[in-house]
Amino acid sequence: MREIAGNSEARDKLAKWIQSWLKKAPRRKAVLLHGPPGVGKTVSAEAVALDLGYDLIEVNASDKRNREAIDRILGTAASQGQLIGKNRLILIDEIDGINPQEDRGAVSAVVSTISNTNYPIILTANDPWDPKIAPLRNACEMIAFKRLSVRDAIPYLKTVLEAEGVDAEDVALKLVYDRNQGDMRGIINDLQYLTTGKSRLAYVDVQPLAYRDRKDTIFQALALVFSAKDINQAKRAVDASDVGYEMLFEWIYENVPRQLSDPRDMAAAFQNLAKADLFLTRAKRTQGWALLKYYFDLMTAGVGLSRKYTKPAWVPNRFPERIQFMSRSRSVRAVRNQIAASIAARCHISSRRALTRFIPHLKLIFQTNEREAAKIAAWLQLDEDSVSFLVGDEERAAAILKASVSAS
């Protein structure tokens, strides 16, 4: 881990989380390492496994993975006993690369694997806010990885090159950094190409190197919209953004009241967003995808050029609350449905009847009588999330779960 440059706080947090498994499984049985490509997410997972002596089982989720494949590969790895007495670490790389059309049920299969795993699971994602992996955000500890600053990158790169017998000019390394926009994987690859057969790297050697085509972060895309001086600048946000166009709409919608403080500007922006939503709805309903161009124009240029009376000021953007609320709601529904399924199986009734008639009574029992709650939890084989849902208090839920082990 010490040989990896940057993100020391994120790497320390990852190492502490894995070490916590030596005592008992933490409440969050998986972590989601997120950040732009080339910042060290995967290599950090591999390095911590090596440092702590874990067997690493790696799966790339961008490959075709349906529910059956996930259950077969991950379910077995997460539940099997150890073969040679070593701890096991499961790495699911590029989880946001799952295709919801081709890989139906994959996300729910991963969530199920996480809830039942006996070993730590690490997931990586470039875009953690992708709607299709929202259930995974609720099941994971989130750890953010950031691009290495040029001030930290140059000394690290010089050390790497010196070990290979190459002397490099600082200005040359800075140009490589700029060409890759801080992507360390791209920087290392370019340096390998530029220094093959050489003992010195000069600025002139790097000049022919082209800029890599990269997506901007969502915050840079929002800046294009809200600080647009013309239509083309605002419209570039769609192509430049590292999130999907519907998620970009949610970000713009959320931040209009923050960025456009004058009521007249705000009203104009929301009118354009309403029209954009109508075009998107019609495009989906009629399969007339040519209408999307109006959707893109209205939600970017329509919003950006609504600024007429708002005075310039820096205001931070924030994650869409509507997406957060929907994510939390889906998580709660999933836990509630899981409890209902357990009741239905034990009592030979429908899950719908269990939801309406049994769960309200269970909540009352779990919140007032821990002894009976422990017996019921053992009988229904409820997990930590289910007991926490019924009790509404994590500490009391932990006590009930501990008592349920003795009652079972």
**pLDDT digits 0-9 by tens, 90-101:** 888 878 777 665
In this structure, of 12-21, 76-85, 90-99, the range with the lowest mean pLDDT score is: 76-85
Chain segment 93-122, per-residue pLDDT in tens:
878 777 665 666 778 878 888 888 888 889
Model pLDDT, residue 29: 86
The pLDDT score that the predictor gives to residue 61 is: 53
Stronger pLDDT, 278 or 155, i.e. the higher one: 278
What distance in Å separates the CA atoms of residue 283 and residue 365, rounded to the nearest whole number? Answer: 50
> Cα–Cα distances in Å, from 258 out to 84, 95, 206?
56, 32, 42
The yes-or-no verdict on residue 364 having pLDDT over 80 is: yes
- Spatial CA neighbour of 95 closest among 27, 51, 142: 142
Evaluate if residue 274 carries a pLDDT over 90. yes
pLDDT averaged over every residue in the chain? 80
- Average pLDDT of span 261-278: 94
Q: Is the pLDDT of residue 69 over 80?
A: no
In the chain, domain spans: 8-144, 150-206, 218-304, 321-407
Structure confidence by residue, pLDDT tens digits, 132-180: 788 888 788 898 888 777 887 888 888 888 888 888 888 888 888 887 7
Mean pLDDT computed over 316-339: 71
Q: CA 250, CA 176: separation in Å to the nearest integer?
A: 35
CATH entry 3.60.15.10 includes domain 8-144: no
What average pLDDT does this structure show over 312-341? 73
365 pLDDT higher than 80: yes
CA 219 from centre of chain: 16
pLDDT at 266: 95
Give DSSP secondary structure letters for 39-79. SSHHHHHHHHHHHHTPEEEEEETTS---HHHHIIIIIHHHH
How does pLDDT run across 23-35, given as a tens digit for each residue? 888 888 889 998 8
Percent of the chain having pLDDT more than 70?
84
Instruction: Please say whether the beta carbons of 14 and 120 come within 8 A.
Output: no
Each residue's pLDDT tens digit, 224-262: 899 888 888 888 887 767 677 788 898 899 999 999 999
